Structure formats: C-alpha cells, structure tokens
Amino acid sequence: MKRLIFNLIVSGIALGTAWAIRGQFGHEQGAAWAGAIGALCIILISKREDWYNKVFKATLAAAIGWGLGGMMSYGKVVGFGRGTDFINVYYGLLMLFVIGGLYGFLGGGLFGLTLSESKERKVNWPLLLTGMTSGGIIAYFFIVIQWEWLMTPPRSEVWAVCLGMAIFLAWFLAHFKNPSALRVAVFAGLGGGFGFAFGNFLQVLGNAAEIRFNFWNVMEYSLGFFGGAGMAYGTFTSDWNVEDKPQKKSGNFIPILLVVLFFPFVVWDQSFSLENLQKTYEKLVSENLGIIALVVQCIAFALIVIQTAFVLLKYHFQRKDRLTEYAYEDVKALFISYFGVYTIFSLLITGAILSTYRIEQYLYIVNFGIILLILPKLRPVFLSKKVNAEKWGAHFLFMFLIIAVLALIAINIHGEMPGAQIRFEF
C-alpha cells in the first residue's frame, strides 16, 4: 500500500505541475498538453510493456478528454467561493467540484478506454465520438436553452456540453462492460472535482492571510494534483488484459503529430503573439522590446520543431519494422522532453527567464526535478477492485459534506474580498 501511495503522489505532482503551467495558456490546448503529461507519467510508472506500445494513442486520448474540459468557464464560479454567505460559497465550491469532476471524468475515461482496447476487444470509436457529440448538444439545448439552468451567468455555460458528453461516456462504458475504464473515469472525476473545490478554498485562505503568492496557481495545482492522483488510483486498482502484440507503426503516426506537434503549436499560436509577449516583457526590459519578443517567439517555435523532429525520428522513422515495440527508456525520454518543453514554454511566456517576479515558475522546475529523481525508484502496484456503485455514491456524499465544511470555514475567516461574486440574492 505504501508503494501505491508513492505512485499516486508522483502522478499527482506530474499532472498538478502541468496543470499549474496550463494556467499560463488556458483553454483546450493548454489542458490537453497537461492531460497528456499526466497520462505519460502513469504509463511510465506502470512499467507495462503493452502500454508502452500504445503510449501515443493513450496519451492522445487523455489529452482530448482533459482538453475538452478546457471549454468550460469557471472564473465567476471561483468568485462565488470568495463570498461571505454559506449558500453562495457552498454553491461556488460545489460547482467547481462539478467542473473539475468533468475534467477528470472525460480525461480519465478516454485514457482508461484506450488502455483497455485490444485486438480481441475493439472500441467502437465512431459510436463513442458521435454519441458524445450528440449528448453534448442535447444536454446544452435542454439545460441551458430550454430550462435555463445557468451555472455562471452571464459567462459561457459550455459545462453543460461537457456534462452531456460525460453522461454518454458513462453509458458507453457501462453498456459495453468496461469496468476498468469506468473506475479510472470515476476516480479521476472525484479527484479533479475535490481538487478544484479544495484549491478554491486554499486560494481564499491564502488571500485572507495576505500571503504574497500566486494562489490562483495553487488552485490550479490542486485540481491537477488530486485529478492526477485519482486517475492513477483508478488505473492501478483495476483489472487490465495483457496484449502481447506490438502496435503497427503506421497507427502511431497521426497520434504522434497531434500530441507532439498540433497541441503545442496551438498553444504557441494562441499565446506567443508578439503583442502578448511585448506586454509581458515591457515590465522587465527597457530596450529592444520588439527584438526580445521576436526572439522569445522564435525560441518557442523552434522547441516545437526540434521536439517534433526528435519524436518522429526516434519513435517512427528510425524503426524499420512494420510493427513497433517501445521500451521503458523510450517512454521516459518522451515524458522528459514533452514535460520539459511545456515547462520552458511557461518560463518564456511569463518572462521568468529574465526576472524572478514569478517565483512559482521555479517551483515547476523543482517539481519536475523531484519527479525525475523519484521515478526510477517507483515500483508498479496493481490491486484488483471491483465497481461498487453504492460505495461510489457514498464517496460523492462524503465529498459534498467535506465541501460544506470548507464553505463554513471559508465564510468565517474573512470579510468582503476582491473578486467576490453573488449568484443568489437574499
């Protein structure tokens, strides 16, 4: 059990750090990159050769699942948690539980589904993707347009789309009898939901204590840490079939391009504009602002090109056989390079390469170093636990109780706070 706990902690640190970095980029592309890092860490810890062979497909699935949640707006919901009355604060924390839960359920579910797929048990991906799309549209139509059950007016209510997708994914996993993937989805959802609510509580504590630190980043780290630990727990406590057959090399080409090239490129395109960089660096330098911004932009783009070339050569073109088998060192090299580029992107976009005004940026490097130091010492631990709907229901009720306690504590430690929002007037 002790070894399992260490595995969960390292998985949590990986996704927690990546999710904190994601705060610099936001939206679907940042969430997808972070989710991919979390999945890579779990596969690395598992030390399962059959999972090494599907590393790009599983990483892509996790990236898409976690990335879908990036559509949701939660800025105003965070403000509800900064209020002074129990109803609004409890509502805010509960809605953050829902939002974080949807992140984790979608990311964990698609990740687990890919791990469970084999030659003998194919996943009907067209049905799944069509159903999730339809479920998202139907849920949004009825919840938001027809019934006007709004979570965060006047902000975007795309959470309803993600809810519809999650409902269909849950049905799909149950209908096609995939308990392992369902476990991963549920525990990733529980972890992500609790992590987001608890992170908002920590943010309120930090601000009330007037501690000079980026507590928004602490909240993001909390979501990623508990979401990553939950996804790892669901993975390491499920039964998985062993597939000895290696993967076709051709089947990895598109996943490689999407994971290593497409997601990072969209992050670069959306975040590394010269205008954005100049706004950041004008606080740090007084001369040659345009040149510095252009250099930073080019460095970030070059990193994408270099990493893409490295991955394509190492994992595709240099492998002459039609079938591909990857080893532990291959997955580790991918994890280090992918995580490393993401961390460097954060240092570049914030200007932390020139100034220490964003101290949390260097904590990312410390976290990264801790992961690399501990990883070789970890040993995989798999426990066999079954789906237990009643027990899961009790877990959710317990979460609601814990969140109520957090809300009570929060409203009693501060007065009016900047950024507080009110959902319900009394």
* Terminal Cα distance for the chain, rounded: 49
Residues in contact with 209: Cβ distance below 8 Å, sequence separation at least 6, in sequence order: none
CA 192 – CA 226 distance, rounded (Å): 6
Helix, strand, or coil (residue 378): coil
Average pLDDT over residues 276-286: 89
Per-residue DSSP letters for 222-234? Answer: HHHHHHHHHHHHH
Average pLDDT over residues 116-142: 94
Residues in contact with 401: Cβ distance below 8 Å, sequence separation at least 6, in sequence order: none
Classify strands 323-324 and 247-248 as parallel, antiparallel or unpaired: antiparallel
Residues in contact with 106: Cβ distance below 8 Å, sequence separation at least 6, in sequence order: 65, 66, 68, 69, 162, 165, 166, 169, 185
More confident residue, 307 or 246: 307
Both tokens of 160, joined, read 């309803």
Please state, rounded to an integer, the average pLDDT across all residues of the chain.
93
Residue 15: the pLDDT is 97
Residue 317: the pLDDT is 87
Residue 245 pLDDT > 80: no
More confident residue, 139 or 250: 139
CA 122 – CA 341 distance, rounded (Å): 34
| CA-to-CA dists, residue 159 to 63, 165, 257, 292, 329, angstroms | 18, 10, 28, 39, 39
Residue 416 pLDDT > 90: no
Average pLDDT over residues 145-155: 94
On the CB side of 338, CA atoms within 13 Å amount to 35
Question: pLDDT digit string (tens) for 369-411?
Answer: 999 999 999 999 998 888 788 888 898 899 999 999 999 999 9
Element (H, E) at 247: strand 247-248
**What are the domain boundaries of the chain?**
2-123+176-246+359-411
Task: State the Cα torsion 43-45-50-51 to the nearest 10°.
Answer: -10
Both tokens of 93, joined, read 């924390």
Both tokens of 361, joined, read 């940026």
Burial of 211 (0-12, 13-18, 19+ CB in 10 A): exposed
Per-residue DSSP letters for 338-352? Answer: HHHHHHHHHHHHHTT
Per-residue DSSP letters for 273-306? Answer: -HHHHHHHHTTT-SS-HHHHHHHHHHHHHHHHHH
Residues in contact with 162: Cβ distance below 8 Å, sequence separation at least 6, in sequence order: 68, 69, 71, 72, 102, 106, 136
Picking from 6-15, 47-56, 126-135, which range would have the lowest pLDDT averaged per residue? 47-56
Both tokens of 300, joined, read 């970030």
Residue 206: the pLDDT is 92
Average pLDDT over residues 288-302: 94
CA 426 – CA 417 distance, rounded (Å): 19
Percent of the chain's residues with pLDDT above 70: 100
CA 144 – CA 426 distance, rounded (Å): 24
Residue 355: the pLDDT is 85
Residue 247: the pLDDT is 73
Residue 323: the pLDDT is 74
Residue 244: the pLDDT is 65
Q: Is the peptide bond before 154 cis (omega within 30 degrees of 0)?
A: yes
Average pLDDT over residues 48-55: 92
Picking from 112-116, 256-260, 364-368, 410-414, which range would have the lowest pLDDT averaged per residue? 410-414
Quickly list H helices, 141-214: 159-175, 179-208
Residue 119 pLDDT > 90: no
Could you tell me the pTM of the whole model?
0.94
CA 302 – CA 306 distance, rounded (Å): 6
Element (H, E) at 329: helix 328-350
Residue 178: the pLDDT is 93
Residue 105 pLDDT > 70: yes
Burial of 293 (0-12, 13-18, 19+ CB in 10 A): buried
Assess contact for 76 and 152: CB atoms under 8 A. yes
Both tokens of 230, joined, read 């939950």
Question: pLDDT digit string (tens) for 331-372?
Answer: 999 999 999 999 999 999 999 988 888 899 999 999 999 999
